[in-house]
Amino acid sequence: MTIALHEILKLRILDAIRSVQPPGGWKVVVVDEASLKIIESACKMFDILEEKVTLVENLEKPRQAYQTLEAIYMITSTYESINKVIEDFKKAGPLYAGVHIFFMSRPDDRLLQMLDSALPREYLRQRNDLFIDFHAKEAHVYSFESPSSFFKLYSPEDRAFDDELRNIAKKLLSVCITLGENPLIRYQRSLEADHITKALPYKLAMLVQAELDSYIRLNPGFPPQDSPRPRGVLFIVDRTIDMYTPILHEFTYQAMANDLLPIENGQKYSYSYAGEDGVQATKEAVLDESDKIWVEIRHKHMKDCIDKLMKDFNEFLTDNQGFAEKDKAVNLNDMKKMLATLPQFQNMKEKFSVHLNIAQECMALFERERLAETAAIEQNCATGHTADRAHPKTLVEDMVPLLDNPVVSSLNKTRLLMLYIMYKNGILEEDRRKLLAHARITLEENDALNNLTLFGVKLIRPSKNNIKKVKKYRQKPSDDVQYEISRYIPRLKQVLENHINNQIDHTAYPYTKDPTGDPEGVKGTQQGPVSLRSARAGWYKKGQAVENRVGRIIVFVAGGVTYSELRSAYEVSEKLNRDVVIGSTHIITPQKFVDDLKVLRTRGYAQPSPPPQLPARQAVSPPKPNNNTSPNYYGSQQTLPPQPPPQQNSYFQGGYYGQQPPPPQPQGGYTPTSGYPVQGNYPQGGYSPSGYPKPQPLPQQSYQPQAQYQYGQPNQQQYNNNKPSSSSSSSSSSSSKPKSKLFGLDKLADKYLS
């Protein structure tokens, strides 16, 4: 059975503590802030105290002296931490009887010289390198918890690119050593994109190869000869491998929750539940490997998660006497009410309450934000075909009403625009200005859109007369897709499957070394002594049965990995019986990705967007129609001004699709609150104080302002004039009833939130 990454890291940490056996048996553990987070990603504090540790102290804080006890310092390889260690033995008296220093990674020679010259030798018992400077986020997921890497790797203004690559290479060395792997290295080779990081995977792959070669020269016992598995493969890719996945809405449980809800660092979630006295209380839940429900449902589609929660809850009622058949829960609201009446099952209540709240909040936002319609268009753009496998010919007609709708968030409008422009491989400048006029995104979001060019995305195409045919990537329709709004398959999943099936393009993913002399599946032949420094994987026991006797696959995505890609790695591992470990500099959500894009050129950090708020769950009846009104696209009523006849052969009617422009506004170009480009000024290629082109006047040519126009409401009359017939096979799933009978979340919301 495959051993979980956090278990491997946990045993490695505990083995280091167990290796210290002072005369009295008891010891103190001292950690700095960074190393504490690494340790906590794999261990509970109880696990450490069980190893005859009297207490765990913070290096950065004042501490009481224990001159009869020896101390284990588990610290990062930084000047600040090493200097703190030296200070502990330079005060009035030493804080501890002796010191055992374990670095999370190998320090550079300068820091070691500083430590050796300043720390009294009579106190130093040992010094060792653990090579564990990464976080075990999940059973098969690691992270360097370094969001700043995104700017260092992709910002054209940052000068830390090479230093950051070297830093990442050292951390990847730690991952390989902890796993007991000397992998073959494959990297993504960009064949088309002309962007700033075209050589990033190649440079990083070569640095990692050099680090591994150097380590093996110094430690001939690595990797262990009797390793239970063949030699693995390390894939190094950057964010350009797939620009759709960080932007798309994902409706599997973990990805959807992190996209829509304010979950801290992907793990901490605050929710309300009914206490034993019936009073509502707030509690913080940790979504990690210790939560068995979370582990079981995190990669399931939201519909399947709700079905699973309902099934397990009803089975619980059946297994406990006192509940009649009529007490069965039929929807989430029933389940929530019944949980409040079960004070005798407090543990069970808390276990179900957290996931019940997550599901309800996600579905409430799904309805409020019109995500069923939004996701249908997103999927058409990302896959290049509709749910009926037809070419999407009505994307603009489907998209513009959502861009006009004030209910749709500005973030979701920005994501729609990004996906549409990527699907078209750039659009005409005039069309872009018109779409921005509908969307009314902020200046910062427009900057995020412009900064996609740093990843090789083309935003603007030349005039129609000069358009050159460009071959665009289109995903083949899959028969395995169960839901219409979840049709897109991350590119990384396809790459891993092709690698395992030996169908990968070797030109696009070459090796750093010729693998013919040492192909995957051949065990290493190096022999030698095994020590803590040589780092045999601590979880391996001689004679242990190993089911998976094929090489492990390690994946690294430079600049952020998505929850969709994490799910894909698990799916490949389960489907093809391979141990896949995936990681990155950090884990990103669509909100985080767009926020970082906003300030990528200025090397800054995006201000966190306000967390999504749940709507008040009230039924609002639309006003009754009268002779002077007509229902608009969203079911409310709107007074219709007189309309000019529609122009032919154009999606855009005089600068606006399907509606009249807003009335004239004061000069200045943007409203102070929303950044909406009003009449007279439109951003050309984006605008920001940091050097983007200034707005230029929009040509006034094909409309007359109407006094009765309402902001943000699409004109139903003109929309119907341009809307394709429902019988057309080329219309997308959001503009006509899809032929597919797949069950969508739009129906799911009605079913479970009744």
Which residues, including other chains, have CB under 8 Å from residue 136's CB and lie 6 or more apart? 5, 6, 8, 9, 10, 41, 42, 142
Q: Per-residue pLDDT for 49 more than 70? A: yes
pLDDT for the residue 438: 97
Phi-psi region of 444 (alpha: psi -120 to 50; beta: other; left: phi over 0): alpha
623 or 79: whose pLDDT is higher?
Answer: 79
Report yes or no: 358 and 269 within 8 Å, Cβ to Cβ. Answer: yes
Residue 736 has pLDDT above 70, yes or no: no
pLDDT at 637: 38
Q: Which residues contact 619 (CB under 8 A, 6 or more apart)?
A: none
The model's pLDDT over 655-690, given as tens digits with 9 standing for 90+, comes to: 444 444 444 444 433 333 333 333 333 334 433 333
Task: Answer yes or no: is pLDDT of 64 > 80.
Answer: yes
* pLDDT tens readout for residues 508-519: 999 999 887 554
| DSSP per residue, 500-536 | HTT---TTTS-BSS-GGGS-TTPPP-------TTTT-
Rg (CA), the chain: 29
The phi and psi torsions of 577 (rounded to 5 degrees) equal: 55, 50
DSSP secondary structure code for residue 635 in this structure: S
Residues in a beta bridge with 301:
252
Q: What's the full length of the chain, in residues?
A: 754
Lowest mean pLDDT among 35-49, 553-567, 631-645: 631-645
Band (204; pLDDT cuts 50, 70, 90): very high
Average pLDDT, the chain: 78
Please tell me the predicted confidence (pLDDT) of residue 546.
38
For residue range 250-297, list pLDDT tens digits in order: 999 999 999 999 999 999 999 877 666 667 778 899 999 999 999 999
Confidence grade of residue 315 (pLDDT, cut at 50, 70, 90): confident
- Report pLDDT for 752: 54
Residue 711 burial (10 A CB sphere; 0-12, 13-18, 19+): exposed
- Say how far apart CA 288 and CA 266 lie, in whole Å: 9
**Domains, the chain, with CATH or none:** 5-133 (3.40.50.2060), 138-242+490-523+553-602 (3.40.50.1910), 253-368 (3.90.830.10)
Where is pLDDT greater, at 720 or 382? 382
Q: Which residues of 630-652 are buried (b: 16+ CB within 10 A; e: fewer)?
A: eebbbeebbebbeeeeeeeeebb
Contact residues for 686 (Cβ-Cβ < 8 A; gap 6+): 446, 447, 449, 450, 692, 693
pLDDT band at 692 (very low <50, low <70, confident <90, very high): very low
- Average the pLDDT over 455-462 and give the result: 91
The pTM of the whole model exceeds 0.75: yes
Is 72 a residue whose pLDDT tops 80?
Answer: yes
User: What's the whole-number mean pLDDT along residues 91-115?
Assistant: 92
DSSP state of 3: P
Higher local confidence (pLDDT), 568 or 631: 568
The pLDDT assigned to 192 comes to 59
What is the structure's pLDDT at 734? 40
- Give the range among 80-84, 215-219, 541-545, 741-745 with minimum mean pLDDT: 541-545
Predicted confidence band at 224 (pLDDT cuts at 50, 70, 90)? confident
Of the two residues 413 and 514, the one the predictor is more confident about is 413
- For residue 240, give Cα distances in angstroms to 84, 154, 505, 541, 596: 41, 11, 17, 40, 15
Could you tell me which of 170, 138, 179 has the C-alpha nearest to residue 569?
138
Sheet holding 141-143, edge to edge: 135-138, 141-143, 580-584, 553-558, 233-238, 184-187
Q: Percentage of the chain surpassing pLDDT 70?
A: 67
Task: List all residues 6 or more positions away from 308 whose beta carbon is below 8 Å from its beta carbon.
Answer: 296, 297, 300
pLDDT bin (cut points 50, 70, 90) of residue 425 is: very high
Report pLDDT for 205.
Answer: 98
Would you give the end-to-end CA distance of the chain in angstroms?
Answer: 43
The mean pLDDT of 582-592, rounded to a whole number, is 98
pLDDT at residue 681, as a whole number: 39
Q: Residue 646 is encoded by which pair of tokens?
A: 């529609």
| CA 96 – CA 27 distance, rounded (Å) | 10
| One-letter amino acid for residue 680 of the chain | G
Q: Are 82 and 52 in contact (CB under 8 A)?
A: no
List 587's β-bridge partners, or say none. 561
Report the candidate in 561, 588, 506, 540 with the shortest Cα–Cα distance to residue 233: 506
Helix, strand, coil share (%) of the chain residues, nearest 5? 40, 15, 50
Q: How many CB atoms lie within 10 A of CB 528?
A: 13
Q: Is the pLDDT of residue 177 over 80?
A: yes
**What pLDDT, on a 0 to 100 scale, did the predictor assign at position 322?**
55
Summarize the confidence of residues 555-575 as an average pLDDT: 97
pLDDT in tens, 76-91: 999 999 999 999 988 6
